Amino acid sequence: MKTVFELTAGSAIFLPQGLSLHSDFVKETEALTAYLVFFDDDVIIDYLSRVQKTAIPEPAEPGHYLLTQGAVFSPFFGSICTEITAPGYLKVKLQELLHLIAWSGEPEAFHGLLHTRKRVPAKQNLRRLLDTVDLLQLSVGDLAHLSGRSISSFNRDFKVLYHPTPKKWLHERKLSSARRMLEAAELSVTEVALATGYENVSSFTSAFKARYGLTPSKIKTD
C-alpha cells in the first residue's frame, strides 16, 4: 500500500526498516537543504540499551514517526564537522540524533517503532546477493540479515556454496579489495582502511601484513 506524506520546511519523518522510500522534491525557494540519515542495527541497539527500561511491544505493521520541530534539528546538522571522518565520531552523532528525535515527540512511540528493525527481509538468493552487494562495510551478521536468514541458517547455506567460513571469506574479500585500492595509489592507507570497514589503521595493517607479508604502506611505495 502506498502512503504519501508532504514534508514542509522544518519537518521530518522517521521510517522503520523494511519500507521503501520514493521522494519528490518541490523547490519553492533557491535555498533547499534536505537530509537523509540511515541508522544501522548496532546504533539502534546501543541507543535502546541506554534508554529503554521496560519491554515495548513491537508494532504489528511498520509505521512512521512524523516530526515537526525543525528548530531542534537544524542546529544538529549544523554542528556536524565533516572534517572528522573517524567512525566513532559518526556513531556519537547518530546517538545524539536519536535522542533528539525521541525528545521532540513521544519517546515510547518512537522506541516501539525502533523495534521494527527486527523484521527480516524476504529470503534472497545467496550467490546473487554476494555477487552484487557492496561488502566492504558489512559484517557477517549484516549479510545474514540482508539474505533473510538467521546467522545459523546463513552459515549453513553459505557452506553449501563456498568452502571457507563466512567470516574468513568476507575477511579475504575485504583485504583483496584493499590491495587493489593500494596498488591503484589513489587513496592513502588510512582511507583504504576506512573504506574496507576497519575502524583503525593499526588493525588494518596487522591483518594486511598477516595476509600478504607486507605492510599496506609498502604496497603503495613499490
pLDDT in tens, 206-219: 999 999 999 998 88
Number of domains in the chain: 2
pTM: 0.48
Whether the Cβ atoms of residue 112 and residue 103 lie closer than 8 Å to each other: no
Could you tell me if residue 207 is inside a domain? Answer: yes
Residue from 113, 115, 163, 120 nearest 141 by CA: 120
Which residues constitute the domain of residue 204?
Answer: 126-221
Residues 69 and 107 in one domain: yes
Beta pairing class for 12-14 and 65-67: antiparallel
Least confident of 6-15, 118-127, 174-183: 118-127
Residues 136 and 217 in one domain: yes
pLDDT in tens, 48-102: 777 755 444 444 444 677 776 667 788 888 888 888 888 788 889 999 999 988 8
Could you tell me if residue 86 is inside a domain? Answer: yes
> Which amino acid appears at position 158 of this protein?
F
Residues 94 and 113 in one domain: yes
Please tell me the predicted confidence (pLDDT) of residue 70.
63
Residues 205 and 145 in one domain: yes
Residue from 163, 174, 169, 164 nearest 203 by CA: 174
Residues 70 and 134 in one domain: no
Could you tell me if residue 5 is inside a domain? Answer: no
Tell me the C-alpha distance between 222 and 220, whole Å.
6
Tell me the C-alpha distance between 183 and 135, whole Å.
20
12's enclosing H/E stretch is strand 12-14
